[in-house]
Amino acid sequence: MDGVPEAVKEWYWKEVKGLTLRSLLYWIVIAIVLPVLSPLFKGVIIGPLPSLHWYINSFIVIVLGIVLIFWYAARMNRLDQELERKLKEGR
């Protein structure tokens, strides 16, 4: 990032750190808190199947993890576009 104003560098890295920290916190909730709460769904039965609380929880954690990855990528792309715009404006 040679030739980039210091203010733009500071803004960009502050935004990247904030986004990464939020994503990490979301992942902690998805990967740790949801599995801890899964015994609450122990009595839930779907049709003739036995209680599937662990399997359903695992599926939800995987799906939300994938959604989080795509959300992070989209937010980073938007942030990079804003950086490009700031660099073109010369700020």
Distant-in-sequence, close-in-space partners of 65: CB < 8 Å, separation ≥ 6 = 27, 30, 31
Distance between CA 91 and CA 89 in Å, rounded? 6
Q: Give the tens place of pLDDT for each residue, 69-81.
A: 999 999 999 999 9
Mean pLDDT for the chain overall: 87
Residue scoring higher pLDDT (48 or 66): 66
Confidence label for 4 from pLDDT (cuts 50, 70 and 90): confident
Q: What pTM, to 2 d.p., does this model score?
A: 0.79
Would the pLDDT of 48 be above 90? no
Report residue 91's pLDDT band, with 50, 70 and 90 as the boundaries: low
